[in-house]
Amino acid sequence: MDFRTLFEKTISEALKLLQNPTWTAKDFCHYTSLQGLIGILESNEIWLSDHRFVNDKHEYEYGRALAISVISEAMQTEADDDFRKFLIELSNSFTKTSPIGIYIASMSFSPDKLDQWKGYGNSNESVCIKFAGDFELWNTGHTHPTHIRQQTIIYDEKQQIQLIKKIIQPYKENFEAFKNFTYPFLIDLSGLIQSQFILFKHREYASENELRITIANLGQILRKKKPMHRIAKGMIVPYITTKYISTEADPPLNKLPIKEIVVSPTSNPDLLESLKVFVTNMGYTDIKVVESAIKFRG
């Protein structure tokens, strides 16, 4: 088997083991500020930000530490000296800061949840946007002609560990064939595992019921276009938008498939009416604007 065929065969086998499906087709929601809501409706886009600058640093570190632990355990029982060395190099690759960001937009399957509202500081300027999850409303030929996908967060540690082991397995099975030129396979495997770090969270965060919007063809897009930048939390954060990354030069976008906007339980009593006027002015006639059902005013 020639190098190219072997390389593609190995990565193909590993990719089949990653999370499936990449679209759940369920309704999902996004908690944001009023300014964030205005930006979403006026631009008719979703922003995806570089994960290295928008999330708790410990979140990514959790996945890294877990992967290193799984590989360390595998090294202790590995009988093949050459493959053990390969695992050592794989583990060492995780100690370096990734030079490439993964662009994500955080969503949730849980609308109008108290812990989510608390995460926004009980702000009187927070809303929960509920989107229709139909795949056809988000992808080619419809709202956003690009390769948008959903990826569900994994909170169960056993499931996280098993996924890492499964990704490594095709490389172990094909190792004898590529052991004399391991570097490209090593980089490839390292990247596959690191791509899962943004999907691993400690079980204590399970109530968030989170999924993330990511882009399937991100590498291809970033080779052609540079990300944009914004200021947030005292940092310069790279970001892209669903329209910006489209494969079309100027894609015609239908309105975002928004079903409902829920107003924070601590909101200004007059916010509800002002939001109804806003969505009408934006041309949305079928969005429900409702108060939170939570009787929480602290």
pLDDT score of 261? 96
pLDDT 10s digits, 53-92: 876 667 778 999 999 999 999 999 999 999 999 999 999 9
What is the distance between the alpha carbons of residues 134 and 267, in angstroms, rounded to a whole number? 30
Place of tokens 């595998």: 74
Give whichever of 3-12, 156-165, 246-255 has the largest mean pLDDT.
Answer: 156-165
pTM of the model: 0.85
Kindly state the average pLDDT of the residues 93-108. 82
Say which residue the tokens 């990511």 belong to.
Answer: 214
Token representation of residue 226? 């540079």
Q: Distance (Å, rounded) from C-alpha 223 to C-alpha 220?
A: 5
Q: What angle do CA 103, 153, 187 make, to 5 degrees?
A: 55
Cα distance from N-terminal residue to C-terminal residue, the chain: 66
At 146-190, the pLDDT tens digits run 577 888 899 999 999 999 999 999 999 999 999 999 999 999 999
Q: How far apart are CA 80 and CA 74, in angstroms?
A: 11
Amino acid at 181: F
pLDDT, average across residues 205-212: 90
